[in-house]
Structure 1
Amino acid sequence: MYGKIKNGRLIISDKIILKNGNISIVLDEDEELTLKKGDLNDITVKGCNLESYGYKKIVYTNPLENKEGFEPRCYWEDCENEIIQRWEYIKLSDDNSGDLLVIYRNFRDSLKCINDLLKSLYDENLDKYNAFLKTDNLLNKVWKHVDETFEGTTAYKIVLKQKSIKSFFQEIGLIDYLNENGYVFKTDDLLMRGSKEIYTYRSFKRYFYELYSLKNLSNLKGHVYYNMSYIYMHTLFDQYILNIIKIITKIEERNLISKQNVTYEEILYCKSMEEVKDMIINKNIEEKGRWSYEEKINYLKDKGINFTIYKENYFDDMIYFCEKRNAIIHNNGEFNTSSLKKLKNTKYKNIIEAGQKIIINIEEFKKESEIVIKVANDLYELICEKYKLLNRY
């Protein structure tokens, strides 16, 4: 990537450059582009020299680690032949914008760590899955055949329905394949090739289950990782909202007014009015920690934080995610009638039913974590806008 420094700002090079009435298309070194229009002959455009337009190669560097009370900020050093990204710590001011930024970044970075961990686990399982199929040609053939033939039905469920290994091969239509490749049934429950015993019904089911588990990351390790990661993601978001409430309470002290009872003894233990305020804030946060997502978000709305997330139905998503988390924690991963009641006014009211099992996979987790980040970012920007804080993100 190439760019130039102009008035202290980095300008990234465009793919198409207009200069002195001439149009140049920027291509990588040795790259070639062919354009066609109607019956015109092919037009071949060679890559141009970006340096002739005043651009230099951009060199990106790793950012600094998050440091409490400081903001890692980048700047660009315009060197002779390249532009290098540099980093420095900027001390945050005490107007709450620094605290707000740290809260948001910690939440965002924590979610990235969870996603990276699950991706690593998924890749590990995928490698085992592919290696498993390579070790057994028959298993590979059967697995792919069932997966392609019985659309919408897992291979493992097909196996479970059968009473013997012979009935399984009859069900999926691969008896001719076995005959053509030297396989015979010594009994209905024993498949052989020559004098070698290949599979019994029990061993066949075990291998299929292992394949199914590896493919779907539903083995015990994957199941625990996904469910615990899902719970942790929403625990982090719960804490993020509570931290936001704590900040707006500090900014607007009228938010300290609550029904919380404060004893004389508690006040006497405080050494200053600031400690009294902190104690009331902490009591307030402790109470709201038991609230649902809907109650917390409605509280913020009552304080004048008007979420733009409503435009994209993210509010419904957050209620749905919360009910999924509650079902995993309290109801063995199944929706119940209580879940249905809380979702009756959302777009999910006709999608779920009581007794429905919740299955978390890597695609779904990634999609939901992206929505949670969007909500968190929206909330961050709304707080900055309402209280005239510096948006440092």
Structure 2
Amino acid sequence: MATSPTNYFKFGAVFCIYVAYVLFRRLPIAFLSQIRTEIQISNDDIGRIVSIHASAFTVSKLVFGTAADRTSNSRLLIGGILLCSTSSIGLAFTSEVWQIEVVMAMIGSVQGAGWVPATKLIATWFDDASYATMFSVLGCGSTFAGMIVPLFKTSYWRTIEFNSGIVMLLFAIICKKWIITEDAIRKEVKPLKKEDMEEENTIGVKKIMKSSVMWHIALVYFFSMEMRTICETWAPLYLNEKKMSADGFQFLYELGGLAGTMISGLVLERLAGKMGVDPSRRLLGIIFTVIMMIVGCGVFKFEEYSSVLGFLTGFFVNGSINIWCLIGSQAGTKSVAGTVSAFISFIASVGSIFAGSPLAHLIATFSFHVFTILFVTQIVFVLSISSLQIPLRMEAFSEKKTQ
């Protein structure tokens, strides 16, 4: 059955709102160089701001991921962007570090209301054949937001934060009243099969938390999330300290990210036919993660090649995130796939927190040279844990089969 043109119009509105979510969390970081000229902010302050925001973001993923199954997704999506817009307006009037910390905590605390409700809404508007394509297009919203961030950096930061907040505030109200008026009729929920019910009873939260499968995936995924925060926060600051423009690096980083996300998926599809699904995912995930950190070393060593390194870093960072996110989404059995994926995402997001205040202390002690030691150590860790050949999927009946 053909999809109604109205649903594409609704999708366009959701896409714009999701892009706004990403912009509201990334613009304050992009404006740090400007903000430092008006408000005295040290590297420790920056690290604390990043950690506070990342912590709030991490918790919000769990909270809103659960809420999306129990309440109106349109209300979550619109309510979250309304708070983000209000916070952006408030940021325009800040004059102290603690005020910036409060605003970033508020923005981070509702970021989880962006992705999950958006994906659940489009799942009700499009059939299975169209959903995969629309899901991928929505996923490109984050990269698109990153690509347009440099366009705002030439303007005064208070003006951009205030105006963008007002515009999205009005847009969200219009969407709620006339465009995204209600959740579409949900697809018929099929009853669980007997074997699925047995799986649900067999695999509980305690077993998920003790699973070597989950921890293996989450620990490697941790480094991808950490690297993304480093590239979005510390790499531009490093280039600015070296009296070099970070705009080229940031734009090509996002462009490389778009290419990395798409190409990693295509390569996985080709390799799966030759090597099998899980072996191909493991191999490509390790390759992307290791090369990601090797290129990361180059960013802080050869700043004169920042544009080329920006593209390569974006390619491997986003490609790595795409692969490990895909692995995590299918690590659990059908009845607990969402719970397992949520736990993996929650643990991996700690990487973003580590890239904030803890990393700021390391930079203050060892300068930016600490990244070389950090990345080499992490490469050794990734190769070591991968050599254990831990499975990428949990088995519900492994205990029964061994009896």
TM category, shorter: under 0.3
Q: Which has the higher contact order (CA 8 A, sep 6+)?
A: 2
Q: What is the TM-score with the length of structure 1 in the denominator?
A: 0.27
Q: What is the TM-score with the length of structure 2 in the denominator?
A: 0.27
Q: Which has the higher helix share?
A: 2
Q: Which has the higher strand share?
A: 1
